[in-house]
Amino acid sequence: MANQDKKILSGRTILLVDDDPLINRMYEQALIRAGANVFSASNGVEGMAKLKENKVDLILLDILMPQMNGYEMLKQIRENPMTKNLPVIILTNLQDRPEDAEKFKNLGVKHYFNKSKISLKELIAGIAKCFE
């Protein structure tokens, strides 16, 4: 990353919720390099617990996870007055389906990215746009 990108997320706290440990580590390291503070969770139950314990500025959320999937977690986030306006970005390996994108848009999702089609640099830029 270019020097200017290193601090693009400085002062921001992000909750990363993904059940794939490799993906979690890769995104976490990229976010830290971009200046963010990061909390990680491996499923929606753990993610909701971390959300209750920590003040976050944005959530990166996978869809397919054990115990509580991303859709269920997102519904709980939106039902809670304390978190209902929190920016959420969906990161998934699901095939792009218009009905999914529409469903998440209706729940106030900022972006819906396919993990296999987005670079780390594009992801960081997408997150930064949420704070403009």
Question: What's the pLDDT tens digit per position in 43-60?
Answer: 999 999 999 999 999 999
Q: How far is CA 119 from the centre of its chain?
A: 15
And the tokens for 31?
Answer: 């976010």
Instruction: Check residue 2 and give its pLDDT.
Output: 45
Cα(30)–Cα(46) distance, integer angstroms: 21
List of domains in the chain: 8-129 (3.40.50.2300)
Helix (H) or strand (E) holding 54: none
For residues 102-128, average pLDDT: 86
pTM: 0.89
CA 48 to chain centre: 13
